Copies of this chain bind each other. A is one copy, B any other.
Amino acid sequence: MAKALDYPQMLRDAALRVTRPRVAVLGAVHALPHADTDSILGAVREELPEVSHQAVYDSLHALTGAGLVRRIQPTGSVARYESRVGDNHHHVVCRSCGVIADVDCAVGEAPCLTASDDHGFTIDEAEVIYWGLCPDCSTTAHSS
């Protein structure tokens, strides 16, 4: 967290054009971990009131394709994006309120990357989602 992130440079390094919307989207994803598209759109519009939702969707796709952000979408949820990429971490999702938290890989490296029987598939990534209740919801117990 010590170094200030240079979003424009990150875009350049990824061979993407540096546009205002993209810089704002990249910043929003870094500022709002696990935010859904709508939240990102709102955050982006705080500095660029004129952006169209289409620009955000497009930027998100471009950034995802370039590996600058990661797209996650737990069952029953809309698409969410996060900025932690390439560090093999997973997520815990609360069944009740839907919050998402990061979890570093249980075994350290990339253990889950080894399936018992890969059926001939060429596996390049293992995605793990833990389901349960967050502290708040498990305390509140049965919220009506």
Which A residues lie at the B interface, using CB under 8 A? 71-73, 75-76, 79, 90, 92, 94-95, 101, 103-107, 111-135, 138
> By the criterion CB–CB under 8 Å, are B132 and A123 in contact?
yes
Closest B residue to A101 using CB positions = B119
The distance in angstroms between the C-alpha atoms of A38 and B57, with both chains bound, is 26
> By the criterion CB–CB under 8 Å, are A128 and B131 in contact?
no
> By the criterion CB–CB under 8 Å, are A76 and B73 in contact?
yes
Q: Which residues of B contact A79 (CB under 8 A)?
A: 75
> By the criterion CB–CB under 8 Å, are A123 and B130 in contact?
yes
> By the criterion CB–CB under 8 Å, are B104 and A133 in contact?
no
> By the criterion CB–CB under 8 Å, are A130 and B135 in contact?
no
Q: With contacts A106-B112, A127-B131, A128-B112 known, is A92 near B121, CB below 8 A?
A: yes
